[in-house]
Every structure is written in structure tokens, then in C-alpha cells.
């Protein structure tokens, strides 16, 4: 992840909250946190098994879900991995590590943002 | 097939999207529209089963899908007598301009880039449905 890239653009979660309230917000965040580890595991299994297409699909799903929630850090890291996989090359270890790290922080980042929105305190870290 | 509401008054929209977050947000927004039912498929094979089985008013297709990608589904739709005129919106990712061009070449009516606002997607879809 780029050091200058903030992990979360709060506009997306705020829009979701406005559109569907707390239940939709918590639902989509829980959906992402449930799905993302499976995608990451599938990505690594794809790499180990030489299944570049499968790994790229997993990376793409991570890009989709994270970007829809405004998780800019995860989306950027996953996009970088996806682009390398699209060329049927193994992503560099630092790129994979950056994705692992960004996803590792996503739960805390999202939880803080959700609580900020539902309690009306904003979502600044 | 066109976007004209059937006698039941229900317009069925196919959503082919494997990311559950995107799917949840789109289903939530579209389901708020009176007379719209969303049929969600998480892979291209399931999407094609829905295409064969259901009377559709429009389709929203992610390009990157397991089993069969969105461009292959679009190709099948445009080759089909029944679905040649079906309004289709493609979902693409940032930096996938080649996919957008390919989608239009294959007959897509519109596209939207992730991350997108579900409300904007609904507005684009409504424009296509009203055109029919």
C-alpha cells in the first residue's frame, strides 16, 4: 500500500448509511469481512497451484468489494496484484504482503468508521 | 425481448456479480423500485441459466465472473433472437478501458465503473428501461 494512501475514503460508507441505515451498513461491512479472507485464501491457493485466472478472479473480487466500501488501501493493493496476475505473472512478494497487511487492518478501520457513523460522531480515525 | 413491463407488472433484472458486497448494494437499491425484481447470479453459468429461463427486462453484467465472463454472456445475448434487444449495463473496474470498448463493440448499452453509486446505476437502468 502506498504510504500516502489513506486506508478509507469515508464517503462510500456514509452514502451506504444514508441509503439503508445502520442495518445495511453493518450488513455490507459484515459481508465484506466474511468474504475477504476467503478470497485472500483462494488467491494464495491459486498462486500455489499455478491457477493464475482463479487467483486473478479472487484479486478482482477483493478490488470490487473493497472499493465499494471506500477501502482505498485494500483496493489499491488488490488492483496491483490483479494487474500482475492478468499478465500471468506471479505478483512480487511485497505486493502480496501489502495486500495481506491492508486486509489485516480492514476490520478495525471499518469498525471504527461504522461506529462513528451510527453514533453520529463522524468517522475520523 | 424488451424492457416493456409484462402483464404481471414485474420487471426482472438479471444481476451477474460475484462480489457479494456489490451485489448486496445493487439488490438493495434496485429492490426499492416499484415493479422491479432482481435475479442475482454469482457466476456466469448461473447467469446463463437465468437468461434461458426468465423473461428479463434488462441485465447488469460484471465483466470478471467465474465460469463465464460478462463479455461472453453479452455475446450470447446478442446472438439470441430472444435477447438481442435486451438492455445491458456492464460493470467494470477502474483502469479497464479496454473492457469498456470491447463491451460496446459487443453491444452493451451502457457501463458503470466500480466503485459506483447504486443510485447512479439505477438512474442509468431507468433510462434504458424507459427507452424500450
Q: Where are the domains of chain B?
A: 11-131
Per-residue pLDDT of chain A (125 residues; tens, 9 = 90+): 444 467 999 999 999 999 999 999 999 999 999 999 999 999 999 999 999 999 999 999 999 999 999 999 999 999 999 999 999 999 999 999 999 999 999 999 999 999 999 998 765 44
H or E element: which one contains A87?
none
Please compute the mean of the pLDDT values over residues B99-115 and round it to a whole number. 95
Percent residues over pLDDT 70 in chain B: 94
* A33 interfaces chain B, CB cutoff of 8 Å: no
Q: Where are the alpha helices (DSSP H) in chain B?
A: 20-31, 44-53, 70-79, 97-105, 118-131
* B35 interfaces chain A, CB cutoff of 8 Å: no
Could you tell me the pLDDT band of residue B93, with boundaries at 50, 70 and 90?
confident
- CB contact under 8 Å between B25 and A60, yes or no, is no
Reply yes or no on whether the pLDDT at B82 is more than 60. Answer: yes
Q: Which residues does chain A have within 8 Å of residue B99's beta carbon, measured at their own beta carbons?
A: none
Q: Tell me, what's the pLDDT at A100?
A: 97
The set of cell numbers assigned to B72 is 461472453
Q: Tell me, what's the pLDDT at A109?
A: 96
Q: Tell me, what's the pLDDT at B8?
A: 67
Cα gap B84→A5, rounded to integer Å: 44
- CB contact under 8 Å between B117 and A15, yes or no, is yes
A10-117 — its CATH code?
A: 1.20.120.160
Cα gap A87→A81, rounded to integer Å: 10
Which of A19, A63, A70 is opposite residue B93, by nearest beta carbon? Answer: A63
Q: A83-89 contacts: CB < 8 A, separation 24 or more?
A: A83/B95, A85/A52, A85/A55, A85/A56, A85/A59, A86/A56, A88/A52
Which of A20, A31, A79 is opposite residue B21, by nearest beta carbon? Answer: A31
Q: How far is CA B68 from CA B56, B79, B123, in A?
A: 19, 16, 27
- pLDDT tens-digit profile of B8-42? 689 999 999 999 999 999 999 999 999 999 999 99
Beta strand ranges found along chain A (DSSP E): none
DSSP calls for A100-124: HHHHHHHHHHHHHHHHHHHTTS---
Model pTM score: 0.92
Reply yes or no on whether the pLDDT at B1 is more than 90. Answer: no
- Count the alpha carbons within 13 Å of B6 in the hemisphere toward its beta carbon: 13
Q: Where are the domains of chain A?
A: 10-117
Round the average pLDDT of chain A to a whole number and report it: 92
The set of cell numbers assigned to A30 is 459484515
Q: What angle do CA A34, A79, A11 make, to 5 degrees?
A: 65
Q: Tell me, what's the pLDDT at A122?
A: 63
Spatial strand order of the sheet with B110-114 comes to B36-41, B11-16, B58-62, B88-93, B110-114
* Chain B residues 60-119 within an 8 A CB cutoff of chain A: 62, 64-66, 93-95, 114-119
Q: Which of the listed CATH numbers 3.40.50.920, 3.40.50.1820, 3.40.50.2300, 3.40.50.620 matches domain B11-131?
A: 3.40.50.2300
Amino acid at each position: 500500500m502506498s504510504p500516502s494512501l489513506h486506508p478509507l475514503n469515508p464517503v462510500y460508507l456514509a452514502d451506504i448509511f444514508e441509503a439503508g441505515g445502520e442495518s445495511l451498513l453493518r450488513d455490507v461491512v459484515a459481508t465484506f469481512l466474511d468474504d475477504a479472507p476467503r478470497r485472500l485464501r483462494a488467491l494464495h491457493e491459486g498462486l500455489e497451484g499455478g491457477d493464475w485466472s482463479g487467483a486473478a478472479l479472487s484479486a478482482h473480487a477483493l478490488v470490487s468489494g473493497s472499493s465499494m466500501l471506500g477501502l482505498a488501501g485494500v483496493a489499491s493493493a488488490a488492483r496491483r496484484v490483479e494487474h500482475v496476475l492478468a499478465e500471468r505473472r506471479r505478483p512480487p512478494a511485497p505486493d502480496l504482503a501489502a495486500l495481506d497487511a491492508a486486509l489485516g487492518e480492514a476490520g478495525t478501520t471499518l469498525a471504527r468508521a461504522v461506529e462513528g457513523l451510527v453514533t453520529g460522531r463522524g468517522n475520523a480515525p | 425481448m424488451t424492457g416493456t413491463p409484462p402483464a404481471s407488472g414485474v420487471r426482472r433484472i438479471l444481476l451477474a456479480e460475484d462480489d457479494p458486497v456489490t451485489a448486496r448494494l445493487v439488490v438493495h437499491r434496485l429492490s426499492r423500485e416499484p415493479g422491479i425484481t432482481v435475479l442475482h447470479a454469482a457466476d456466469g453459468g448461473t447467469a446463463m441459466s437465468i437468461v434461458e429461463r426468465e423473461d428479463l427486462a434488462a441485465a447488469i453484467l460484471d465483466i470478471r465472473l467465474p465460469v463465464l465472463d460478462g463479455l461472453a454472456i453479452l455475446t450470447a445475448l446478442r446472438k439470441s433472437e430472444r435477447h438481442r434487444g435486451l438492455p445491458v449495463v456492464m460493470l467494470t473496474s477502474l483502469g479497464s478501458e479496454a473492457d469498456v470498448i470491447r463491451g460496446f463493440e459487443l453491444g452493451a448499452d451502457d457501463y458503470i465503473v466500480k466503485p459506483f453509486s447504486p443510485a447512479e446505476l439505477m438512474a442509468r437502468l431507468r433510462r434504458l428501461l424507459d427507452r424500450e
